[in-house]
Amino acid sequence: MIKFGFVCARNTFRAMDVFFWPVMDLLVWGFLSVYMLKVSNAVPALITMLIGATIMWNVLMRAQQLISVSFLDDLWSRNLLNIFAAPIRVSEYVTAAYLMGFIQAVLVILVLSVLANIFYSFNLFSIGLPLAFLFANLLLMGWSLGLVTTALILRWGPPAEALAWAIPFLVQPVCAVFYPVSVLPLWLQPVAYWVPAAHVFEGMRQILQTGHLDQSRLWCALGLNILYMVIAALVFRHLFQEARQRGYLAKYGT
């Protein structure tokens, strides 16, 4: 965490990278929504749904990417050996990345909420307390994806580094970020219901439309997240042990 703080404190581009993509997302989707409202009979709630979805999607993506990119940072700077030859538990390393992901997700959601308020008069915090539960569930899913992504990079090395950016988009279609699950083909809908984020985004749309949230959605998302956190931890532990057996830590670290 101290290392990441040092990097962001000095490297303006790195710090800006945290906010740049989410802000661009918000602007593009936000203005598209405004345009759609003008040229068609789109329901006014559509604009709030798209903007809310854009902001919340970034929570998941930031949490996932920070874990993977922290690991890639050590890989690129050939620092892996120094880290894993130090008295640091893998769980400590991962927890630090989780915390950084949490801090970054909070900062991103704050910045985007302010901008959404300025440009589109959209107040994300009007969702109220449920927003915290929606946020927590997306964060948990982002952490699980981040851990699995890191494990895959550990297993396949630098050629797999693109996964750090690709994995969120691989699951995005079944996360029902910008559309309801009912829009998906029938055969894909059961898959979406196994994705915690789909329940979160369905819940968010429900609140924005009706002001009410079916709490079973949150519990469902939480249950799935706990299951996936356990699976992600087991996958990571297995691939980390395999990396030690096959010498990947030493190979990729030098």
Residues of this chain that bind another protein (CB under 8 A): 2-3, 6-7, 10-11, 73-74, 77-79, 81-89, 241, 244-247, 249-250, 253-254
Token readout for 154 is 């550990």
What's the min distance (Å) between Cβ of 58 and another protein? 25
Describe the chain by its helix, strand, coil percentages, rounded to 5.
85, 0, 15
Q: Name the minimum Å distance from CB 41 to another protein.
A: 52
Smallest gap from Cβ 179 to another protein, in A, equals 40
**Closest approach of Cβ 103 to another protein, in Å?**
18
Least separation in angstroms between residue 10's CB and another protein is: 8
Distances (CA, A) of 127 to 136, 147, 181, 212: 14, 29, 21, 9
- What lies within 8 Å, CB to CB, of 184 at 6+ separation is 173, 174, 176, 192
- For 23, the token pair is 């802000």
Q: Quick one: 48 or 65, whose CB is closer to another protein?
A: 65
Our CB check for another protein shows the closer of 95 and 241 to be: 241
Residues 6+ apart with CB under 8 A from 147: 67, 94, 232, 233, 235, 236
Cα 139 to Cα 162: distance, rounded to the nearest angstrom:
21
Sign (positive or negative) of CA dihedral 243, 246, 249, 253: negative
Kindly tell me which of 70 and 225 has the beta carbon lying closer to another protein: 70
User: In whole angstroms, how close is the CB of 92 to another protein at the nearest point?
Assistant: 9
Two structure tokens written together for 189: 């809908």
Which residue's CB is nearer to another protein, number 38 or number 89?
89
Nearer to another protein, 42 or 249 (CB): 249
Nearer to another protein, 211 or 242 (CB): 242
Cα dihedral 71, 77, 80, 81 in deg (nearest 10): 180
Is 92 within 8 Å of 142 (Cβ atoms)? no
